[in-house]
Amino acid sequence: MDANGQRFWLLADDAHWPGRAHVEYRAGCRALRLASERTLSAPPADAAAIAASALERLPRAVDRQGATARWDEAQMAIVVTSHLPEPAILLPLAERPLDFAAGFDDVLYVALAERLLLHDLRGRWPDTVLPTPGFQAWRIAADPAGGAWLLERASGRLGRLSGCVQPARPAADYAHTTFRPAPENPTPPTLRLFDGVSWPAGERPQSLALASDGTLALLSWFGDGESRLRLFDRRLGRLGAVQTLDGALFAYSIDWLSEGRIAARLPGRRDAPVWVPRLAPAAALTLRPAGDIYPLAAEAEEAPFAHRLDDPPCYPLAGGSVEPLYRLSVSNLARRGEAANFSGGTIHLIDSGDQQTIWHRLYAEARLPAGCGMLVWLATSAEPSQAGVLEWHAHQFGELPADARPFGAVPRAAWERQPSELPGHPGLGAWGAPEAGRAGLWSALIQRAAHRVRALSGRYLWVRVSFFGDG
């Protein structure tokens, strides 16, 4: 806040904090918190062989009623296990499919050699074959809007199957006086390939997953099993920046969880690690594993996630069934983190417009449990760049570990009884009623401690926040 005219600047949005380390932004409550993260153990020596074997196994498919479809090699058919006492043969085939998935339009999409088989689960029309010359679908992801997304393994090309087959009608012919649409089916099944999707040399796609909001993620390997994640930009029709999955080698399957998180199957692990991808990263980055733990059952097979229409993700078990993926009620949070309103060339500029500005008071709405706190470091400059900043000034909120306390006197924020610095405002925090010394509003007088003149003045203000927790 500026003492001259009581102007104020709010830092509450994701874009306000471009520089973040071990800290995550929660859009639901517009707050920063220590990131949920952990370190993964080293993969087994035969991780590459396990992953290669898992990729050769056909994913299972789950429909709206919870029935599970799997490929039976002995019967050369797609077999369904449901509430009925015995498995039922759904679709005999003359060849082994490459993949199959139940769509949101109640159509079973089956990838065969350079063609797609569309089997209507509601019996509205007979099986339809859509030739795809020059394109070999290898993985399928059903789209909530209808149709499916298709991935070709060899080239990494991406396709979108849209349209539908017209239901069979009781009369084959109509009188010449009957008004009919031309063509009869204005939206037949059509495959569109995205020419803008290209992969760098040495990067090989392995899996794709579609979120309920339409965000398409693709998993790839680079070099010696480095696992990468890319989000597909529908507007531009191309892949987004690389997001490397830290600690993941030869990840062979991914699926979306709630709140924009992605779970992955890794060779030899008895759980499914989780990462939180950035939706539109400007450059390549590395994602640390989230601290959430999703254990797998003892009977879990080394195979891709099942195709499904409803949450949560499902993974295959021995015997042909699938099991939902659930999280343990355990938190693993970073003990320290940092956020700033700048990161390299990306800056959220706080510009008062006057070199004589005196920065007066700092307010923070936060929940600070026992043993947790933060240091807010402030600095000013005459130019719109933090490169020339020589001195930072700390302001303490909450409790800090002994080794994190700055040397010398540090101004300490006081807890306020009011929920907001604005009179009558209920506050921006999502943690309910204020709790003395723990949750609510804190305020501190901005100052340069240990200086003869304590006022902090300058046109541009720079903010760094160091977070401290107990894990």
Name the domain boundary from 324, 355, 387.
324
> Quick one: 231 and 265 in the same domain?
yes
- The answer to whether position 7 is within a domain reads no
- The answer to whether position 89 is within a domain reads yes
- Give counts: helices (H), strands (E), the chain: 1, 38
Residue 471's pLDDT is 79
Alpha helices, H only, 229-388: none
Q: Tell the residue number behind the tokens 């339009």, with chain if given.
A: 105
> Quick one: 288 and 400 in the same domain?
no
> Quick one: 219 and 290 in the same domain?
yes
Q: Label residues 25-49 b or e (16+ Cβ within 10 Å = b).
A: beeeebbbbbbbbbebeebeeebbe
On whether the pTM is more than 0.85, the answer is no
Alpha helices, H only, 389-455: none
What is the phi-psi region of residue 406: left when phi exceeds 0, alpha when psi lies from -120 to 50, beta otherwise?
A: beta
Alpha helices, H only, 82-188: none
> Quick one: 311 and 339 in the same domain?
no
Task: Tell me how far apart the alpha carbons of residues 51 and 302 are, in angstroms, rounded to a whole number.
Answer: 8
- The answer to whether position 1 is within a domain reads no
**Sequence-ordered strand ranges (E) for 336-469:** 336-340, 342-343, 346-347, 350-351, 358-359, 361-367, 373-381, 393-398, 414-416, 439-445, 456-457, 460-468
Residue 3's pLDDT is 46
Residue 463's pLDDT is 97
- The answer to whether position 329 is within a domain reads no
**In a structure prediction context, what are the per-residue pLDDT tens digits for the chain, which is 471 residues long?**
544 457 889 999 999 999 999 999 988 889 999 999 999 999 999 999 999 999 999 999 999 999 999 999 999 999 999 988 899 999 999 999 999 999 999 999 999 999 999 999 999 999 999 999 999 999 999 999 999 999 999 999 999 999 999 887 766 677 888 888 888 888 899 999 999 999 999 999 999 999 999 999 999 999 999 999 999 999 999 999 999 999 999 999 999 999 899 999 999 999 999 999 988 888 899 999 999 999 999 999 999 999 999 999 999 999 899 999 999 998 889 999 999 999 988 899 999 999 999 999 999 999 999 999 999 999 999 999 988 888 999 999 999 998 988 888 899 999 999 988 888 888 888 888 889 999 999 999 999 998 899 999 999 999 999 999 987
Secondary structure of residue 259 in the 3-state scheme: helix
Looking at the 3D structure of the chain, how many domains does it have? Answer: 2
Residue 172's pLDDT is 65
Of 298, 300, 330, 296, the residue nearest 318 (C-alpha): 300
Task: Tell me how far apart the alpha carbons of residues 307 and 97 are, in angstroms, rounded to a whole number.
Answer: 15
Residue 109's pLDDT is 98
- The answer to whether position 313 is within a domain reads yes
Show the domain range for 282.
47-324
Alpha helices, H only, 160-299: none
> Quick one: 304 and 370 in the same domain?
no
- The answer to whether position 234 is within a domain reads yes
Q: What is the DSSP letter of 434?
A: -
Name the domain boundary from 298, 324, 350.
324
> Quick one: 166 and 230 in the same domain?
yes
- The answer to whether position 4 is within a domain reads no
Residue 300's pLDDT is 97
Task: Tell me how far apart the alpha carbons of residues 8 and 238 are, in angstroms, rounded to a whole number.
Answer: 40
